[in-house]
């Protein structure tokens, strides 16, 4: 019984640490933000040909509220100059992107590109 009392603080600390790790992983996995941008092929870097993703873009992007952020993402091809993109960003980077029309951009974002 005496040994258990001595080890109890360590057991509690381990349980708390594991709980914190689990909560952090869930929060990271559920982080999801949408950004909008316009393709500028002067902001592209050609990567090594060994990878499937041959190009990396570094573009100024905006949230639907017009908050600006620089976002890097990789693609397997050069994108169409001037195209508008909707980027789905998760904790580890851009998860997916799709081309959208100017009309599909939120109003505050449209203002940035007019």
46: left (phi over 0), alpha (psi -120 to 50) or beta: beta
Q: Are residues 69 and 98 in the same domain?
A: yes
Residue 29: pLDDT above 80?
no
Q: Looking at the structure, tell me whether residues 16 and 71 fall in a common domain.
A: no
φ, ψ at 20 (rounded to 5°): -60, -45
Tokens of 27: 């929060």
Q: What is the mean pLDDT of residues 81-104?
A: 90
Same domain for 20 and 8: yes
Q: 51 and 71: one domain?
A: yes
Give yes or no for residue 60 having a pLDDT over 60. yes
Q: Which residues pair with 98 in a beta bridge?
A: 86
Tokens of 107: 């109003």
When divided into structural domains, the chain yields a total of 2
- Shared domain for 22 and 68, answered yes or no, is no
For residue 12, the enclosing domain spans 1-30
Q: Are 36 and 106 in contact (CB under 8 A)?
A: yes
Provide the percentage of residues in the chain whose pLDDT is more than 90. 44
**Closest by Cα among 19, 26, 39, 21 to 91:** 26
* Domain shared by 47 and 4, yes or no: no
Tokens 């998860």, located at residue: 95
Q: Are residues 80 and 109 in the same domain?
A: yes
Indicate which CATH number applies to the domain containing 95: 2.40.50.480
- In this structure, the answer to whether residues 67 and 108 fall within a common structural domain is yes
Q: Closest Cα to residue 112, out of 1, 37, 59?
A: 37
Rounded to the nearest 5 degrees, what angle is found at the Cα of 49, between the Cα atoms of 43 and 52? 85
């Amino acid at each position: 019984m005496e040994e258990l009392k001595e080890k109890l603080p360590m057991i509690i600390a381990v349980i708390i640490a594991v709980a914190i790790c689990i909560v952090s992983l869930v929060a990271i996995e559920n982080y999801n933000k949408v950004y909008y941008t316009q393709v500028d092929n002067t902001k592209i870097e050609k990567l090594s040909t060994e990878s499937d993703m041959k190009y990396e873009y570094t573009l100024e992007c905006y949230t639907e509220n017009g908050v600006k952020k620089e976002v890097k993402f990789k693609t397997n091809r050069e994108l169409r100059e001037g195209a508008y993109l909707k980027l789905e960003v998760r904790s580890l980077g851009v998860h997916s992107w799709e081309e959208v029309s100017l009309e599909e951009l939120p109003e505050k974002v449209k203002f940035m590109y007019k």
